[in-house]
Amino acid sequence: MIIYCTGAKRGNESFIKLYKDLISLIENLGITVLAELSNKFISTIPLTDNQIYKRNLKWIDGSKIVIAEVSGPCLEVGFEIAYAIYECKTPVLAIHTADSSVPRMLSGCDYPLITIHVYRDTNELKSIIENFISKNS
């Protein structure tokens, strides 16, 4: 199974750490993760914005599910979620920490391909991810 993971990639280091932790957790389950901050896909040359855009959409196209860490605000993540559910019809798991503030456009979305969960610790996060993968594999 291939999973596309996304999360805040710039700005607040704590959000970047949550995104990296998510990638590690899923990779440790033995699943192929396509993600910009995965150590497996580090580009040796800088990519242009257009190359990143095309690469990320291709990765979403080729993924069975998308998991998005949405604790930190990021327009890019919102765009990727919308692309996955509306264009690709790919199930999306949007996860966030209990102390984060999720945008109302996300928390209010009742589209059937998106599932939103709050998590308090790594064990709970792992359980949420495993259940979502099980339902969508």
Binned at pLDDT 50, 70 and 90, residue 12 comes out as low
Binned at pLDDT 50, 70 and 90, residue 44 comes out as confident
What domains can be seen in the chain, in order of their start residue? 2-135 (3.40.50.450)
- Among 5-19, 93-107, 123-137, top mean pLDDT goes to 123-137
Query: What count of other Cβ atoms lies within 10 Å of the Cβ of residue 127?
Result: 12
Tokens standing for residue 45? 């040359």
The 3-state DSSP class for residue 53 equals: helix
37: pLDDT strictly greater than 90 = no
Place of tokens 């996300």: 106
pLDDT at 134: 95
Is this prediction's pTM over 0.85?
yes
Query: What count of other Cβ atoms lies within 10 Å of the Cβ of residue 50?
Result: 8
